[in-house]
Each structure stands twice: as structure tokens, then as C-alpha cells.
Amino acid sequence: MLRQITPEESTLVERHAGKGFKTGLAEMSGWRNNMEDAHLAHIKDDWGFFGVFDGHGGDACSAFVAKRLEEELSANGCPADDAAVKDLVFRLDKEFLDSSKPSGSTATMCIVNKPTQAGGKHQLRVMNIGDSRVLLGRRDGTIVDGGGTDQGLTTDHKPDHPSERERIYRCGGTVETRGDNCARVNGDLSVSRAFGDREYKKTGGPGQEDHPVTSDPEFGKFECDASDFLLLVCDGVSEGSFTNPEVVELAARLLREGNDPGVVARAICFKALETDSKDNISCMVVLFEDGENQTAAMSFTPGNCTHLSEEKYKTAFTAMASRANLTLAQAVEMRYETALASPAESLSESLREEKEKIGRPAGEKGSNDRAQWFQQWVADLPEEAENKRPSLMSSMGRKGDGPAGPGKGKGNLNAPVVLHGLGCKALNGRTGFASPLVNDDGRVRVTLATSKDFKLVRPCNLKRFDPCDAETCPGCALPILLNQIPPCKCM
């Protein structure tokens, strides 16, 4: 199966409003072929509950937690204290574990109690499970330092954190650091607190706090003014080079320009992608001011359709369209009408190319003829064959089974090669699967470099490696092939 080689940039924006609150949530698949995040904005007259849930290993757990929390809050109101929140979290975690469904999810949440008198402070009850984050910002663009990770209100629950590591070992687990320099529970999971993840909750106990991975929430109490704003972000926002202060600064600038939390959340997703996020991206912006109505409004912006012949991209695009209750054909039609219907001369070069690829639709806008035309367009999309791309070695012009036969390729065999984004973390140092940079003709793009340039890569104790062995991971010697995920522990 081929990897996705282009990020999918469709965005889904939800806006919720009520007395004293106005929120915007944006999500994007990015480099992943499925959106595994979920969220919750539960707004009442004098309080609100807000949460972002970052799923892993599938979307079952994050969706379950968001849905069940909404049901519990609607039925029972605001949890009275930290003990009530903890009891609720443990109960929902047990429900999910008892269902035997796979996957897990982090959760970053905040209960906001509005002031009881004019001019008073908003009270923030922050709850965190995992490595998503809650940030507090001021309208001048400064972050309120909450003492957490990168000045956030929350601290990432990572396996190498001293207190997390102590619990993991006490409860029968291990912390192992592989070639990507990322500490992992039992050599696999990169967070130490989460809902679900049954495989990491089989030792320790009997209390739910006492497992290598636990859903035990960490609490924090803060207060803020009505002019401040709250951000809840999954780790896809912060895993690249987008710092918490930079997130707050961008949000404040855009709020000054338009005060639309949905626009702000969407812009943060795009900035995270631009700054090298390789994960799903979700961002919620909470303003402490009255909204126009109490109903949720959803808007979908389809991404580029040029790459729909790529299997993984098509899967990601279709999944995001489905979250907006659209078929793939409906999403492509929406893309055409909203981004490509203008005369070609008024479009950018990339949009002109995309418009040319789609062609000229039949029928009038909104007609059945046009809808049927797009359905046929989608049905006629070429499928990318799994054996379409040449082998890595032949693409590089090095020893391998190239067009001229085994070992017949040409190339500079004396220069070390920096391989960008082949998915093996021993080579690229990422915390998630990166995607190969592949030209339109299928050739892998590489950089020839001298050994002093290996500072560009963060490999596992690797100084250099023989280009003739470039199909194996320098960290563990297992194969790295373009069209399959390497089965190595450096992942």
C-alpha cells in the first residue's frame, strides 16, 4: 500500500455560541489518511465545558469519549469538583475498555465558570490526560504562563517525565527510547496517560491510577478576564515548530482583525501544517462573550482535488467530506463552485491547473445534470497502482533493480545521502510517519550531502551510512521500501 505523499487540507469548522461564550473549532487531516480527533463544546447559562480529544490507533475512543461526556453533562450538569470529574473519567474509561474496542485517546478539557458579579473573573478548571494542551492568551498577543509545557496551562504526559516514568515502572511497564529519540511506554506508545489503550492497562492496579498508561486526569485552577481567550489544541498543532506563544500571538492578531474564533482556529491548523506537523490537527478557540445564537453551525472547505488519484489522499479527502455529511462527488463539486468557477485568467497557477484537471462540468450550478457529472468524474478517477513507482534504489540511480537490471543504475556512490521523509524515524527524527518527497514522474527526491551536513538529520547514533545500503534502516538494518511501512522499532 502506498503512503500518502501530499497533505490533505480540507477543513471542517464548527461554531458554537451561547450566553457568555463564542467558540470555533477547526480540524484537518493533514498527512494522516483518517481524522481521529473529536471535540466537545457544551455551553450552559453560567458555565461551559470544552474539550479536544486526540485519538490514536483509530477514532473509536475519541468519538466515544466526546459523545459520552456530552450525554453525562446533559443529564447531570457540571461536575461539582475534581473528585467528581475523576470519577466520571474513570467510569467512562472503564466503559470503553469493557467494550473491547481498539484505540485510545488523549483529552484536554476545561470547565469555565462565569463570574457571579459584573467585572469578576472567569474561573477555569483545567483537566488534562495526555499531550494535548490548553493555552490562555491575552488580546495583546501575550501568553499567560500557566507553568506547564511551553508556558501552557497543561503539562504533557510523556513517558520520560520523572513522575510518569516512576508510575510506569512501578506498574510493570517499561520506558524505551528508540532511534527517533522519543520515549515510549513498552517501546510503543508515546503518551503515558490516555483513555482506552487496553494493552497498557493489563499490569498494575487495582486502582485505575495504577497502570503504565492511566486515564487519571491532572487538574489545574486558573482565572482570567472576559477579554482573554482560551485555546485547546491537539498535539498536531505543537508537534512541529509552532510554539505555544506563537499560537497565541497568531490567534490574537486574527481576533483583532475579525473576532471570528472559527477563522482563527482554521488559520492555526494551516500554520501548524506549514510548520511541519505530520499529524491530525485540531484547534478550539473559546471567547468569553455572548454569541448570536445557541445552535452549532458547521462549514466545510474542500481541499485540492488535483491529487485524488493518490489512494491515501483520496481516502483522507473522502473521510473529511464524510464528517461534513458529504459524498466525495459532492465535495469535489463544492470545491469547483467555491474555488474554481471563476474565469481561468483570474485564478492562480495552481488553481488553473486544478480546474484544468477537473474539466468543464455539464449542467447549471446546483442542477441534477451537474451532480451526475461530478459523480461520473469521481467514478472515472484513475487508481494509483501499488507497483507504479520504481524501487528506491533505481529511483536514486544506485545499486538495485532499476530499469537496466540489478546493480546497473548510475549515481555518485561516494557521497552519503540524506533521505527525506521515508517514514523511518532513524532517518528523519519525526514523531509520526513522514511522507516521501516524490516527483510527478515517481522519482524520489534526495539530497546529496557531505558528512558534515548530517546535522540536518537526527538519526540513532548514526554518523553516516553506505548509500549502497540505503534500503535498510541504519538503526536496525531492516528494509525501508517506498511502498510499504518498514516493520522496524525505529518507527
Query: Residue 281: what pLDDT?
Result: 98
List the pLDDT tens digit at each of the 491 positions of the chain.
445 678 999 999 999 999 899 999 999 999 999 999 999 999 999 999 999 999 999 999 999 999 999 999 999 999 999 999 999 999 999 999 999 999 999 999 999 999 989 889 999 999 999 999 999 999 999 999 999 999 999 999 999 999 999 999 999 999 999 777 899 999 999 999 999 999 999 999 999 999 999 999 999 999 999 999 999 999 999 999 999 999 999 999 999 999 999 999 999 999 999 999 999 999 999 999 987 655 678 999 999 999 999 999 999 999 999 999 999 999 999 999 999 999 989 999 999 999 999 999 999 999 999 999 999 999 999 876 443 444 333 333 333 333 233 332 323 323 333 333 333 333 333 323 333 333 343 333 333 333 333 333 333 333 333 333 344 555 554 444 433 333 344 43
- Give the number of residues written for the chain: 491
C-alpha cell belonging to residue 239 = 508537534
> What is the reported pLDDT for 118?
86
Distance in angstroms (rounded) separating the CA atoms of residues 201 and 39: 24
How far is residue 442 CA from its own chain's centroid? Answer: 27
Instruction: Give pLDDT, residue 294.
Output: 56
CA–CA distances in Å: residue 351 to residues 91, 270, 304, 357, 399? 50, 18, 9, 10, 39
Domains of the chain: 8-140+216-295 (3.60.40.10), 311-379 (no CATH)
Residue 487 class from Cβ within 10 Å (0-12 exposed, 13-18 middle, 19+ buried)? exposed
Give the number of other CB atoms < 10 A from CB of residue 243.
14
CA dist., res. 349 & res. 326, Å (int):
28
Per-residue pLDDT, 322: 97
3-class DSSP string for 310-370: CHHHHHHHHHHHHHCCCCHHHHHHHHHHHHHCCCHHHCCHHHHHHHHHHCCCCCCCCCHHH
- The cell for 43 is 455551553
What backbone torsions phi and psi does residue 237 show, to the nearest 5 degrees?
Answer: -75, -35
**pTM, whole model, 2 decimals?**
0.78
Q: Is 299 helix (H, G, I), strand (E, B) or coil?
A: strand
pLDDT for 456: 30
Angle at 471 between CA 467 and CA 472, to 5 degrees: 100
Look at the alpha carbons of 309, 314, 317, 321 in this order and tell me if their dihedral is positive or negative. Answer: positive
Q: How much is the pLDDT for 185?
A: 97
Q: Positive or negative CA dihedral for 341, 344, 349, 354? A: positive
CA distance 375 to 22: 37
DSSP 438: B
Specify whether the CB–CB gap between 137 and 93 falls below 8 A. no
Which among 319, 272, 252, 280 is positioned nearest to 432, based on CA atoms?
280
Exposed/middle/buried for 23, CB within 10 Å: 0-12, 13-18, 19+? buried
CA angle 427, 57, 245 (to 5 degrees): 65
